[in-house]
Structure 1
Amino acid sequence: MDIPYDSSAPVRAGIPEHGRVPKYYAVKAKIVPLLDELGEGGTLPTERDLAVRFEVSRETVRQALRELVLEGRLRRAGRGTVVAGPKLAQPLSLASYTEGVRKQGRVPGRHLIGLERHPCPERLAGELAVERGTPVWHMERVLLADDERVGIESTYIAVERVPDLERDFDPDSSFYGYLSERVGIRFGDADERLETVLATPREALLVGTSPALPMLLIHRLSRDTEGRPLERVRSLYRGDRFSFTTHLGDGN
């Protein structure tokens, strides 16, 4: 017998080998077609209405909805629940956040949380190849896509590399564009590490999401075209709104 294949679905569509499907998962499977009917931004019926329709308890419906929210298929809006749009597929490359979001027809934006100078701690000094105590900028911004808060970005860079950052840089614009066009610094390469984490209460508040929502965390150390360390970036993205893509090839 041929096995149905859907690249967007989990293996065997989530059905365990013993064939017994949890009640909440059966309800979830019935809700999914409803999302396609409603379309992006459509308001889902209430938990009570769904419980009556599918003849299950409200807690069963609530568990099904929780999973759909975590998967990014639904989002909370006030006291209701609406159908979410597709996730942003950000490339793992030297391209900036701005470029990646624009390519998907969305409007990128940022909201400055803080821009401060600090003496560089020992570990960061080793990564940026500067002396401990050297002044570094720490810039923290909320990332936006069509005015929706989708992540937080923290950037560390030596003050000597961008001494006029506080005066010349528009925090709502691309930092990569500023370095290239205003400062004349070109990116050469970078090392990245991607992991899943839970947001701290502060981060969840800034992004406007639940602390229980899985987040995608990227650590990046960038270098200029001469191989000199340039910036250390910690980017936290909402797991329900982002996915990441990369191209793999034969390394030979």
Structure 2
Amino acid sequence: MKRKAYEKALAPLQVELNALAHWLRHSGQRVVVLMEGRDTAGKGGTINAITQRLNPRQVHVVALPRPDERERSQWYFQRYVQHLPSAGELVLFDRSWYNRAGVEPVMGFCTPQEHHAFLREAPVFERALVDSGIRLVKYWLSVDQEKQEERFAERAADPRKRWKLSPVDLQARRKYREYGEARDLMLEHTHTPYAPWTLVDFNDQRAGRLNLIQHLLDQWPDRRLEAEPVTLEPLPGPPGVEEFRGPVKPIVGAY
């Protein structure tokens, strides 16, 4: 999808996302959105497209690092619970507790027993979230291996994107089939009526973002509230000028 067409389609969706955020604040609903998928699928870019025009005090992004020694001794879901939303808030997880259904078993970071326990316990945990009033929306961003390799190569060649390539990513790119098998097992055990998965084709990232955002908006068809008008009164005098009289001098730009 061409950039101009994408940006033209994204702008009205971002207006609708603002309407959704306004409605969530008014209704007090709590929303959790999980973004899962293979490396390079497009999770971060999609989250950025969603949050770009929203209030960061109301909409939060959670991208947790690997657990430390203390967290590894806790109940597996414990470190995620503290990031759950309060009334009127939307929380987006850039990877979530489903690390234990994908990267951890594939890369050997958990035992088979821990993996199987997670598949058994995750639906119970999610049932408790939903029963508490949280709306849980789960997305899997799907990408073919050929397209994934193109994106790996782009990251390796671009110094601005090289930070996205971790040692784990470089090892994981050889395990495309294993990740697919782990994903299928995850879907089999955790796709439930109260917390279903939605699969989105992200071979074209721009089209995938638009489709995902539209699907997210469609979860609340009656999201619109009448916006309160904002009127700016005329200034009482001439406009002020930014002046500095102290010892600190402003930068003189080169552009």
Question: TM-score by structure 2 length?
Answer: 0.27
**Greater relative contact order (Cα < 8 A, sep 6+):** 2
Higher helix share: 2
More strand by share: 1
